[in-house]
Amino acid sequence: MLKKLFGKKEEKVEKEIILAPVTGELVDITEVPDPTFSKKMMGDGIAIKPSKGEFVAPVSGEIVNLFPTKHAIGIKSKAGVEYLLHIGLETVTLEGEGFEAHVKQGDKVTAGDLLVTADLKLIEEKVKTITPFVITSEIEGVDIATNQQVVQGQTEIMTVHVK
């Protein structure tokens, strides 16, 4: 309303910088041993082989979905792009064991805020810990870093070009 009155235009975000959601080894999404992710059925993205069990917000926005099992988090960025952080593969079968959520659906987060802690040793005994991070919205394009060590909340892993 005030923007209309005072003639201020809302600036359109053209790109978003995405930070690593966890510390570990960044790998190409096609290396994920699950076709849902490796064939990009959910969307384009990356995967990380985590070396630490703290998962942080890779972008500022809102938690739009926190699965009851705490293994997957949907985030909608301030630019309106939706992302899915899926901690491990087949982790839904753990029914939340080894996961502790530090956010809830509807929470606003800033890039780097702690989302979930996970007991990687416990999880590795039962399933794979490789963690896909995918873009679930339509976008203009994406530049993705590959095959490097990343630090949660610090290393830039993607530049998303917003529609």
- Averaged over 91-98, what is the pLDDT? 95
**Residue 40: which residues within 8 A CB-CB, separation 6 or more?**
29, 134
Number of separate domains in the chain: 1
Query: Is residue 6 in a domain?
Result: no
Q: Is the per-residue pLDDT at 152 higher than 70?
A: yes
Amino acid at 121: K
The widest CA-to-CA distance across the chain, in whole angstroms, is 60
- Averaged over 90-112, what is the pLDDT? 97
Compute CA distances 16 → 30, 82, 136, 159, whole Å. 22, 12, 14, 6
- Averaged over 9-20, what is the pLDDT? 83
* C-alpha–C-alpha distance, residues 91 and 89, integer Å: 5
Query: Is residue 138 in a domain?
Result: yes
Query: Is residue 107 in a domain?
Result: yes
Query: Is residue 8 in a domain?
Result: no
Of residues 11 and 132, which shows the higher confidence score? 132
* C-alpha–C-alpha distance, residues 157 and 155, integer Å: 6
* Domain extent at residue 126: 13-161
Residue 37's CATH number: 2.70.70.10
Catalytic residues: 86
Query: Is residue 5 in a domain?
Result: no
Q: Is the per-residue pLDDT at 81 higher than 90?
A: yes
DSSP state of 128: B
Query: Is residue 7 in a domain?
Result: no
Query: Is residue 148 in a domain?
Result: yes
* Paired residues of 15 in beta bridges: 161
* Paired residues of 86 in beta bridges: 72
Query: Is residue 35 in a domain?
Result: yes
Q: What is the pLDDT of residue 4?
A: 52
Q: What is the pLDDT of residue 147?
A: 85
Mean pLDDT of the residues in the chain: 93
Q: Is the per-residue pLDDT at 11 higher than 60?
A: yes
Total-model pTM: 0.91
